[in-house]
Amino acid sequence: MSKRFYTTTAIYYVNSAPHIGSAQEAVIADVIARYQRMKRDGVHFLTGTDENATKVFEAAKAQGKEPRAFVDEVAAVFKNVFDRMHIAYDDFIRTTEPRHIAAVQEAFRRLRDAGHIYQGSYEGWYDVQTETFYKESDLVDGKSPEGNEVRWVQENNYFFRLSAFQDRLLSHIEANPQFIQPEVRRNEVLAFIRQGLRDACISRSASGWGIPVPDDESQVIYVWFDALINYISAIGWPDGDWKSYWPAEMQLVGKDILVRFHSTLWPAMLMGLGLPLPDVLLGHAWTMMGEEKISKSRGNVVAPLDLAQTLVDRGACGIELAVDAVRYYMMRIAPYETDSTFTFEDFDLKFNSELVNDISNGVHRVVSMLHSFCEGSIPMAEPDAEVVKRTLHDLHVPTFANGLDLYRVDSAVKAADAIAAELNVYIDREKPWDLRKTDPPRLQAVMVTMAYLVRTLEGCLRPFTPAIADRIAALLGQEPLLKLDQLGRTDSFKRGVKAAKAEPLLMRIEKSAEKEVKKMEETQEDLISIEQFSKIKLRIARVLDAHKVENADKLLRLELVVGSERRQVLAGIAQQYSPEELVGRQVVLVANLQPRKLRGFESQGMILAADAEDGGAILLMPDKPAPEGTSVH
């Protein structure tokens, strides 16, 4: 088989659902893959989830879940969001899969046997949130450079001889200017390497979660060494047809993981394995919310599907086109050299001005005039030669194609809006409503030219907004334009076919997206994140004794046993339950609630109850006995 075009995203930690910042990376890669499918066969787009991290194990433990069940749940959330966002990946790798585990252990063996791995002692600071080791000099006010808490680690581990590859890395980067993009990222990587690379600690003491080190089950492989190998484990390395895919043409990652991992550790590992390096490592910048990076921990997250739903709720369109509108906006602000900023005001502005005023209105005008002036059919005529020349050779199609050939979705997406803008200018200049009376033959050419521009617009939108592109094709009565070599050609659409009924793609919005998101948050105020829920410790407890609280008609004082511990809890259930009927029963206890004083007694937790129809309480109890202290999840 001939070499495939292979592109990847970073794989995502299974710690929360994708937000508009993290999903943006997957959409960029999807746009590039969709464009490549227009150019050629044999395109392979990989994304997935990174599941062997220490923080994943700790999050699962905090919820009282087995790590495998925990990662299964969150990986399913990622796949669902990506599928609904029209992200057409070819493979979704999970680092808990047998194919990945086998490849990681084989890579470790080969690097160890080649002398690139050795045992040693590690002492230093470890940031669990980013799974990164830091020197004392790296810390900022006692925290990691990302602002996260660090913990001191002192272990006997395995090390990868990263320092031995320093000169080779520098030589490769300097000899291949396109290897790391954009240039500002390349300069950051060169500066990082020139300050001196240290050997990388690539194992941790076994914690019950992670890929075991071959021949030493006391250690698990460090998550970053493990995670990077997904790019080759997913394509069948070392025994499958991986040579038909590797090296990757483009690997897309965020700037925060490009320098330390993807541009140093990853290529050095490949060199040690005797494998070629990817053609391009593209390190994008961040999308910010105001002055801060969008992040779950900062509480400034905007979920892309929620943003799409605001368009539906405001009557702009259905959910499929709304998702595409969010994709379009993501690409319009896609950050490369510098960070971009998301605001609800800017989202509304670009939706109204570009997607509605330029694109939707332009298409609607053409289809409406086909029905008004041409009996609903595209005339059997040829488009204006000057418009074709400008579109196909001079400006629009070259801008679109050159942008995506260079992986610049930010510039390529502007070509689509430029076509729509030119379409509207052309309509206003040619005035087909007047030509209908004054020059019917000229009207035929003008209407075909307008249809030609709409057809070209469809093709340029297709990688960015596939559902909108399909709808435009249907409005013109055409099959979808799927091949790049047809884009902008005068024979790319059929003449004499009937256009569909003229209906706007999108409707203008007036109300604020920010207000709609806040409204959604208010109506979903009971929803909490996985991280928030993991902080709540629910335990099975048994009532040893119960007493009424003097001068308190509703309160009972319960003595509970929770594992080996005893607790005193006050509960407002005296009007529904007598002390005698509670003794010996099991209840569900919120075990990590801050104690508080009630009627002179300290309540050391809270038992769970449902609301009865009369406003009373219905205690939650297990349907069969469980050991006291058992986690509830």
pLDDT at 110: 98
Return the closest-CA partner of residue 46 out of 84, 102, 4. 4
Whether the per-residue pLDDT at 633 is higher than 80: the answer is no
The answer to whether the CB of 189 falls within 8 A of the CB of 180 is yes
pLDDT at 528: 60
Strand pairing of 609-611 and 216-221?
A: unpaired
Using pLDDT thresholds of 50, 70 and 90, give the confidence band for residue 430: very high
Q: Tokens 């190998």 correspond to what residue?
A: 229
Q: What are phi and psi of 198, to 5 degrees?
A: -100, 150
Ramachandran category for residue 579: left, alpha or beta (phi over 0 → left; psi -120 to 50 → alpha): alpha
The answer to whether the CB of 199 falls within 8 A of the CB of 161 is yes
b/e 441-450 (16+ beta carbons within 10 angstroms → b) = ebbbbbbbbb
- Cis preceding-peptide flag for 267 (omega within 30 of 0): no
Strand pairing of 91-94 and 43-50?
A: parallel
Annotate 582-632 with three-state secondary structure: HCCCEEEEECCCCCEEECCEEECCEECEEECCCCCEEECCCCCCCCCCCEE
Whether the per-residue pLDDT at 131 is higher than 70: the answer is yes
The answer to whether the CB of 117 falls within 8 A of the CB of 63 is no
Residue 232, judged by CB atoms within 10 A of its CB (0-12, 13-18, 19+), counts as buried
Higher local confidence (pLDDT), 577 or 459: 459
The answer to whether the CB of 155 falls within 8 A of the CB of 122 is yes
The beta strand positions in 128-165, using DSSP E, are 132-134, 151-160
CA distances for 306 relative to 16, 293, 323, angstroms: 15, 19, 10
Using pLDDT thresholds of 50, 70 and 90, give the confidence band for residue 421: very high
Domain boundaries, the chain: 5-284, 296-513, 535-632
Dihedral sign, Cα of residue 82, residue 83, residue 89, residue 94: positive
pLDDT at 531: 63
Please give the full DSSP string across 94-123, using - where no structure is assigned: ETTSHHHHHHHHHHHHHHHHTT-EEEEEEE
pLDDT at 299: 62
Which tokens belong to 333? Answer: 């602000």
b/e 499-512 (16+ beta carbons within 10 angstroms → b) = beebebbbebbeeb
Helices (H), 431-465: 432-438, 440-461
Which tokens belong to 320? Answer: 């499929």
The answer to whether the CB of 587 falls within 8 A of the CB of 618 is no
Average pLDDT over residues 467-472: 98
Q: What is the pLDDT of residues 371-389, one digit of tens each?
A: 999 999 999 999 999 999 9
Whether the per-residue pLDDT at 19 is higher than 60: the answer is yes
Using pLDDT thresholds of 50, 70 and 90, give the confidence band for residue 568: very high
Q: What is the pLDDT of residues 577-604, one digit of tens each?
A: 888 888 878 999 999 988 888 777 889 9
> ∠ CA(573), CA(574), CA(579), 5° rounding?
110
How big is the chain, counted in residues? 633
Q: What letter does residue 548 receive in the DSSP assignment? A: E
pLDDT at 62: 80
Q: What is the pLDDT of residues 307-350, one digit of tens each?
A: 999 999 999 999 999 999 999 999 999 999 999 999 999 999 99
Strand pairing of 287-289 and 340-342?
A: parallel
Which tokens belong to 465? Answer: 């907004």
Whether the per-residue pLDDT at 513 is higher than 60: the answer is yes
Q: Tokens 């796949």 correspond to what residue?
A: 79
Measure the CA–CA gap between 323 and 303, rounded to whole angstroms. 11
Whether the per-residue pLDDT at 439 is higher than 90: the answer is yes
Q: What is the pLDDT of residues 195-242, one digit of tens each?
A: 999 999 999 888 778 999 999 989 999 999 999 999 999 999 999 999
Q: Which are the contacts of 573, defined by CB distance < 8 A and separation ≥ 6?
A: 554, 556, 609, 616, 617, 619
pLDDT at 401: 98
Q: What is the pLDDT of residues 521-543, one digit of tens each?
A: 665 545 566 666 777 889 999 88
Average pLDDT over residues 433-454: 97
3-state secondary structure of 603: strand
Mean residue pLDDT across the chain? 92
pLDDT at 423: 97
Measure the CA–CA gap between 529 and 299, rounded to whole angstroms. 11
For residue 386, the one-letter residue type is E
pLDDT at 60: 82
Strand pairing of 250-254 and 5-9?
A: parallel
Please give the full DSSP string across 173-218, using - where no structure is assigned: HHH-TTSEESHHHHHHHHHHHHT-PPPEE-EEE--SSSPEETTEEE
78-82, 93-97, 285-289, 511-515: lowest mean pLDDT where?
511-515
Measure the CA–CA gap between 68 and 414, rounded to whole angstroms. 43
Average pLDDT over residues 176-190: 97
The domain 296-513: what is its CATH number? 1.10.730.10
Measure the CA–CA gap between 426 and 439, rounded to whole angstroms. 17
> Given this structure, which CATH class describes domain 5-284?
alpha beta
Q: What is the pLDDT of residues 295-305, one digit of tens each?
A: 665 667 789 99
Instruction: Name beta bridge partners: 201.
Output: 159
Average pLDDT over residues 37-48: 97
The domain 535-632: what is its CATH number? 2.40.50.140
pLDDT at 523: 57
Return the closest-CA partner of residue 425 out of 400, 396, 459, 467. 396
Return the closest-CA partner of residue 399 out of 385, 387, 417. 417
